[in-house]
Amino acid sequence: MSDIPYKDKGSILRPFKSLQFFARPAVTQPLEPRPASDNYRGFHVNDWKKCIGCSTCQKVCDNAAITMVRVPGLPEDPVKGIRNERPAIDYGRCCWCGLCVDICPTGSISLTTEYVHTCREDELDSYFVLPDPNGIHGEHFPKGWDKTADADLVDLERQPMGELPGEERIDSFDEIVEGYTEQQAIVEASRCVQCGMCHDACPTHMHAPEYIRAIWEGDVEEAVRQMYRTNPFSHVCGRVCTHRCESACSIGRRGEPVAIRWLKRYAMDAVPDLRIREIAAEGKVDYISGRRIAIVGAGPAGLTAAYDLIRKGHKVTVFEALDKPGGMTRYGIPEYRLPYDRLDADVAVITSLGVQIQYNTRVGRDVTMDELRRDHDAVLIAIGLQLGRSTRIPGSDHPQVRRAVDLLRMITRGESFEVPERAVVIGGGNVAMDIARSLARLQKQQFGKVQITVCALEDFEHFLADPEEVTEAREEGIEILDSRGPKEVVIEDGRLTGLKTLGVISIFDEQGRFAPRYDQQDEQFHPGDMVIESIGQMSDVSLLGEELTERLEWNRGRLKVDEDGHSSEPWLWAAGDMVFGPDVVHAVADGHRVAASMERYLAELDSEKQDDGRTS
Amino acid sequence: MRPENYQARSQPPSNEFELNFGPNHPGIEGNYAFRVKLNGDQVLEARADAGYLHRGFEKLMEGRLWIQNIALVPRICVPDPVPMEVCYSLAIEEIGGLEVPERAKWIRVMQLEMSRLAAHLFAFGGHAATTGMYTTMFWGVADRDLILDRFEELTGGRVYSIYNIPGGVRRDVPEGFLDRLSSLLDYLESRLPDYDNLFFTNQVFVKRARGVGAMTQEQALKWGVTGPNLRATGLEFDVRRDDPYLVYDQLDFEIPTESGGDALARNLVRRAELKQSIRILRQVIERLPSIEGPIRCPIPNPLAWNVPAGEAYTRVESSKGELAYYVVSTGGDKPYRVHVRGPSSMHAVQVLEKLALGARLEDIAQIMFSLDACPPEVDR
């Protein structure tokens, strides 16, 4: 079989064959150093400007060679998703597999073409290296093993979310977003690298890595348990949260961030309401403290505080002026974004723990602050921002100039008003989008077509509303204009005919104060039967009463509170939008903070009482 | 012991003595020991003493993510690491139902044959050294280094390529790589006559190796012998052809056999396989440019990758024989159990113990190298 010219017997002449090698070049390789191949996996380099300290390299390292080290002086910003930690490599453990490079969400880390590192015995520490862009010996070797598109181990694409198409959803207030299926949720959850940037960025520090992991493991109840550690408004936040978590997500550095908000929504919808109540009740103390707490306003801040305090065994009563709970989440957010039954489910969890809500009870009218103080150990006001601000431009006192919050409240409560055939909205925030899109649905139902113009002060680069809100509003036929400042409401014979706007040159002055400058030449007229102002809200603090208002400290019209929401009166706290904006998840975070402060106050009262008992 | 208490122990007169061969011995591959009982220089009894290189790989793998093990498996067999990566990946692909792209399959075959060439050059180089012919070893190692250069270019690593992952390979073939590989093959082919003159037809080797460590085909099958060692007894069995994986069924190559079953026959089979591997590589070089497409199928984020519950037994033909992985998944992010069926554990323990009987002391090293047993793979 073998094709070797094989002879059984040797020849005496065969050794002379080796003479031919005298004419050949030597096999020995020259000892000059040669460059490594372009793909070589040598020592690490790390672009510190790109690196965000997410520690994913550390998680994938199969030899535990990577330690995250704090580097003082580097930027650190939880909201942007940047930590001042950088990976340090222990070359006593590293095996140069390069998995850290392939999985790096930012693409900052790579391996160089550098071959050699040696050291004396007293320099053994030099095997522990904090890679920077210059390489282990600062010699700027070219990159070897680097991130390539076809070897990337990060899943950059998000699972698509089903939505009602624009022409279909405009007919009704049905929820637009369909939600994930179980399979989609598990796949989406599997994209997470558990870096915890979301946890740091979230105002209430939700345990997102934990609940995403639980969803991936198929344990939705555990996911809900993790959510209730920090957020009793998970149904609401799963739909309308401003999702700072996703802005900070490390996967979002090069791709689409993990759909943390939709995953939360999926887990909450996947667990039956009754089971959620059982999970939320876990850890509630089984004694009654005897302390009584009054909370004014059944919005997210007030109810979150109520949730925390009832779990500590206090008696909590919430006073709500309207007939339904939720505050701005109900009366400010349209139903197509947040169905009311999901909000009701969140509130039902809180009331199932024993929180009493007294509806149709306006503090200041049906019950006074003095009475609240007399009957309770501590009082929290969390009344939100219920009054819309006015532009105060000429003509803005016309009855057909309305405030967005008033209209949204009327739509939710089913109160009738004359729907304008053409409407102009002033403002560029999410509330402006909410009212424009709600009116668009009513116009479609009544007139069969949508005629709404939104005039925003900001340009599209600095727009306040979420990009998806803008996209969806446009899909629904709403015209959105940027850099338009309101000049005057045009009224002819007592009838409102439209709005004049001017082009915006700048919004803030050199000191960064709000002082818009307009181009007087660039004037436009937007016809309409109604002008809606959506430029911000303020709080209605008349409930406090004159005497208390006098005693409290104020800061530019806002109630002055310390960082825990404690006012200058020892028994009074304030929370939520009225002191600290601007959205649901901030209100939830604020509710927790204030509840903790109230809890400390009550504990002090208890210990004083015990001390008194001992001395007497 | 106090001198006054010392009493010489009387022993019956005997020509027999025990010798510890290894674990650090130039005639042993890696760290491996052999305890032999000798009568003069004839082996009366031989006991293999493995375990010096035991690192607990199979257990380690149970504690690591599926993807982390790709950095671990090549270390099981240092001279021939690529089949380890490929076989492990094949098992996960089978359990997980991953469709490996065609291009990745061809690249894998290319690596496997490059690795076989490198391993064989190393193996008979080693064998030559045991018969005192160090030139062959130097040549073998120097030529193997040229293959490692190509590995460095393709995979980023010279010895441990860590290049195959479940689903495909990690990088595409660099530009111009196939041309450089092609000229390397030309060079290696031109070297074969030199190797023949220097070693394979050299009477120093032929006379030393003939009849040493011989086994029959029947014995070989009974003892679990595979690979070139089995083919040296005349049985034409090769996993590449009898249970084809990747794209071996599309390739044209022969299965060399010999009939002697001894150390000489085993080396001649390896020598003939060099030529076949070069032949396969030339076909890959010709076909690969026309096969376009991805080099890896999409895989989940490795940190959250549950391979579905199931088990797989996958086998490949490594340079040393039949290499197989038995992998069990219970649906978790780590393997439940991985068993490596390495060819060397049979060759270095049960076969070597038997073949050494009656041999002379100086042939033990020759027999071990002719079996191409790899102690790190025995111990794992």
| Chain B residue whose CA is closest to A40 | B156
Q: What pLDDT score does B13 carry?
A: 73
Does the residue A484 lie in any domain? yes
Per-residue confidence (pLDDT) for residue A485, from 0 to 100: 87
For range A286-295, the mean pLDDT: 87
What is the mean predicted confidence (pLDDT) over A494-520?
A: 86
Q: How far apart are CA B231 and CA B237, in angstroms?
A: 7
User: Between the CA of residue A12 and those of A9, A16, B51, B135, B200, what are the distances in Å?
Assistant: 10, 9, 46, 20, 17
pLDDT for residue B54 is more than 80: yes
Q: Chain B within 8 Å of A153 (Cβ-Cβ)?
A: yes
Output the CA–CA distances (angstroms, integers) from residue B161 to A110, A248, B37, B86, in the order listed. 17, 35, 41, 11
pLDDT of residue B274: 92
Residues A396 and A493 in one domain: yes
Predicted pLDDT at A4:
64
pLDDT of residue A173: 81
Inspect the interface and report whether the beta carbons of A27 and B272 lie closer than 8 Å.
no
User: Do both A378 and A404 map to the same domain?
Assistant: no
Is the sign of the CA dihedral A433, A439, A442, A448 positive or negative?
negative
For A440-474, write each residue's pLDDT tens digit.
888 888 888 888 999 988 888 888 888 888 888 88
CA distance A179 to A341: 16
Beta carbons of B68 and A99 less than 8 Å apart? yes
Cβ contact, residue pair B156, A145, below 8 Å: yes
Which domain covers residue A478, as residue numbers?
391-538
Q: What is the distance in angstroms between the Cα of B337 and the nearest Cα belonging to chain A?
A: 18
pLDDT of residue B61: 92
Predicted local confidence at residue B50, as pLDDT: 83
Can you tell me the ipTM of this complex? 0.84
State which of A496, A517, A538 marks the end of a domain.
A538
Total domains in chain B come to 1
Q: Is residue B1 part of a domain?
A: no
What is d(CA B35, CA B52) in angstroms, rounded to the nearest whole number? Answer: 14
Chain A residues inside the 8 Å CB shell of B134: none
**Among A367, A397, A352, A353, which Cα is nearest to A494's?**
A397
pLDDT at residue A134, as a whole number: 87
Cα dist. B57→B76, B87, B237, B312, B338 in Å?
A: 8, 15, 29, 18, 9
| Rounded Cα gap, residues A48 and A84, in angstroms | 10
Orientation angle between helical segments B102-130 and B82-96, nearest 10 degrees: 150
pLDDT classification of A2: cutoffs 50, 70, 90:
low
In a domain, B12, yes or no: yes
B138 at interface of A, judged by CB pairs closer than 8 A: yes
% chain A with pLDDT above 90: 20
A202 and A325 share one domain? no
Q: Is B203 on the interface with A (CB under 8 A)?
A: yes
**Do B272 and A3 lie within an 8 Å CB cutoff?**
yes
The answer on A57 and A138 residing in a single domain is yes
Q: Which residues of B touch A148 (CB under 8 A)?
A: 171-172
% of chain A beyond a pLDDT of 70: 97
The verdict on A68 and A117 lying in the same domain is yes
* CA atoms of B99 and A484, how far apart (whole Å): 55
Inform me whether the pLDDT recorded for A615 exceeds 60. no
Query: Tokens 């290894």 identify what position?
Result: B22
- Please tell me whether residues A211 and A347 are part of one structural domain: no
Query: Does pLDDT of A334 surpass 60?
Result: yes
Residue B86's pLDDT band (boundaries 50, 70, 90)?
very high
Q: How far is B2 from chain A (nearest CA, A)?
A: 44
Residue B285 lies in domain: 6-379
pLDDT digits (tens, 9 = 90+) for A570-613: 888 888 888 876 788 888 898 999 999 988 888 888 787 777 66
- Mean pLDDT, to the nearest integer, of A281-293? 87
Q: What is the pLDDT of residue A463?
A: 86
Per-residue pLDDT at B165 exceeds 80 = yes
| B182-219 burial: b if 16+ Cβ within 10 Å, else e | eebbeebeebbebbbbbbbbbeebbebbeebbbbebee
pLDDT at A204 over 50: yes
Asked if A150 is an interface residue toward chain B (Cβ–Cβ < 8 A), one would say yes
- Tell me whether residues A40 and B138 touch, CB distance under 8 A: no
Place A30 in a pLDDT band, splitting at 50, 70 and 90. Answer: low
Q: What is the pLDDT of residue A614?
A: 60
Is A28 in the B-facing interface, judged by CB distances under 8 Å? yes
Residue B380 has pLDDT above 90, yes or no: no
Q: What is the pLDDT of residue B130?
A: 85
Residues from chain B that touch A111, judged by Cβ atoms under 8 A, are: 156
The answer to whether residue A96 sits within a structural domain is: yes
Give yes or no: residues A557 and A534 share one domain.
Answer: no
- Tens digit of pLDDT for each residue in B167-219? 899 988 998 999 999 999 999 999 888 888 888 888 888 888 888 889 999 99
Are B71 and A97 within 8 A, CB to CB?
Answer: yes
The pLDDT value recorded for residue A616 is 47
Find residues 268-327 of chain B whose CB sits inside 8 Å of chain A: 268-269, 271-272, 275, 294-296, 298-305
Inter-chain CB proximity B152 and A191 less than 8 Å? no
Looking up residue A568, the CATH number of its domain turns out to be 3.50.50.60
Number of domains in chain A: 4
Q: How far is B200 from chain A (nearest CA, A)?
A: 8
Q: Give the integer Cα–Cα distance in Å for A56 and A106.
A: 10
Any CB–CB contact under 8 A between B258 and chain A? yes
Count of CB pairs separated by less than 8 Å, A with B? 127
Q: Are residues A492 and A601 both part of a single domain?
A: no
Residue B60: CB atoms within 10 A of its CB come to 15
Could you read off the pLDDT of A521-573 as tens digits, one per residue? 888 898 888 899 888 888 888 888 788 888 888 877 778 888 888 888 888 88
Q: Give residue A1's pLDDT band: very low, low, confident or very high (50, 70, 90).
A: very low
